[in-house]
Amino acid sequence: MSLLSRWGLWWMGRASLSASLLLLSALAMPARAVEADEYQVKGEFLFNFASFVEWPSQSQVGSEREVRVCVFGNDEVTSILSEVLQGRSAGKRDVMVRRIDDLAGVAWCRIVFITRFAEMEPEVVINSLGASSILTVGETAGFAANGGMVNFTGEQSRVRFEINQGAARRAGLKISSKLLRLAELVEE
């Protein structure tokens, strides 16, 4: 093999490696932004859930002045959701966000969002709540079909959601027909 062809192969290899690294770094940067965007959108949905779900008046969960959204997940997701929901009110109730790591913190909540980053299995949370008047929201496959009330699903890079009306009814929650029209309804 001539020196010129060796140099050409070396140069093509370097150029190919550089192009691959450039492509990978370009792909990695939007991936972080997409996740932040994804949770900003999910935060808007959580706000709408707080606005279009009616809790029983005798419910002892939380405060009548607040809708408390508890997040099983990580600090980054909780921070994004807090930014989206900060200073907003659902009806006459302020929306508050708090990260929780165990079931002891659930009594504080009106909405429990179990993210894919949660260390606890969604079924454990759902089973521990029983018929409590707490809206359970998840984002893992089969969440609503396994007893959760609302499940975020991804479809062609758009956030959609499923609703399990039976689970919501058992908890005494009434979901607005406006919200039901936008969802895919699932049964257990």
**What is the residue whose two structure tokens read 């991936």?**
31
Question: How do the domains of the chain map onto residue ranges?
Answer: 39-185
* pTM confidence score: 0.79
Q: What is the pLDDT of residue 4?
A: 47
When mean pLDDT is compared over 10-14, 147-151, 158-162, the highest value belongs to 147-151
Rounded CA-CA distance 121/43 in Å is 21
Residue 56 confidence (pLDDT) above 60: yes
| CATH, range 39-185 | 3.40.50
- Chain mean position to CA 41: 9
Could you report the per-residue pLDDT of 76-98, keeping only the tens digit for each? 999 999 999 999 999 888 999 99
3-state SS assignment for residue 77: helix
Q: What is the pLDDT of residue 63?
A: 55
Q: What is the pLDDT of residue 18?
A: 40
- Kindly indicate the confidence band of residue 57, based on its pLDDT and cuts at 50, 70 and 90: confident
Span of 28-32, 59-63, 123-127 with lowest mean pLDDT = 28-32
Rounded CA-CA distance 122/19 in Å is 41
Q: What is the pLDDT of residue 160?
A: 93
